[in-house]
Amino acid sequence: MVLNDADRSAEFQARQIYVNDWILDRGRILEGGAAPGLGPSIRGFAMVGDRVDRYRTSRATLRWYREMYGEPNRAGWERTQQYLRDITQRTRAADGRFLMARRGPP
């Protein structure tokens, strides 16, 4: 299980579209390279705008991941916890042991 594996409610998942769109749009821009004929001052503004976009998107993405395991995605997180309990029960029923590693706070 990795960070984005928790089940998500439809309402919560809809919030992720913005970040996905930004990632795809940014990839298309980077693949195309710098636009020809742009002067240094225009490139400077573009660079500053890009950094502001990255900062905003980074904050939105971090908030989305934190909230995936909190109140904004309560229904999805509760389903995920039930799935983990089910896996544990099925594994025990087959004389196995389900283990999950997690990295604690630094």
In a domain, 80, yes or no: yes
Count of structural domains, the chain? 1
Domain range for residue 75?
7-31+39-93
In a domain, 24, yes or no: yes
In a domain, 1, yes or no: no
Helix %, strand %, coil % of the chain (to 5): 70, 0, 30
In a domain, 2, yes or no: no
In a domain, 104, yes or no: no
In a domain, 49, yes or no: yes
What predicted TM-score, i.e. pTM, was given to this entire model?
Answer: 0.60
In a domain, 66, yes or no: yes
pLDDT in tens, 49-63: 778 877 887 788 888
In a domain, 57, yes or no: yes
Distance CA 30, CA 39 (A): 18
Query: Is a pLDDT exceeding 80 seen at residue 10?
Result: yes
Read off the pLDDT band of 89 (50, 70, 90): very high
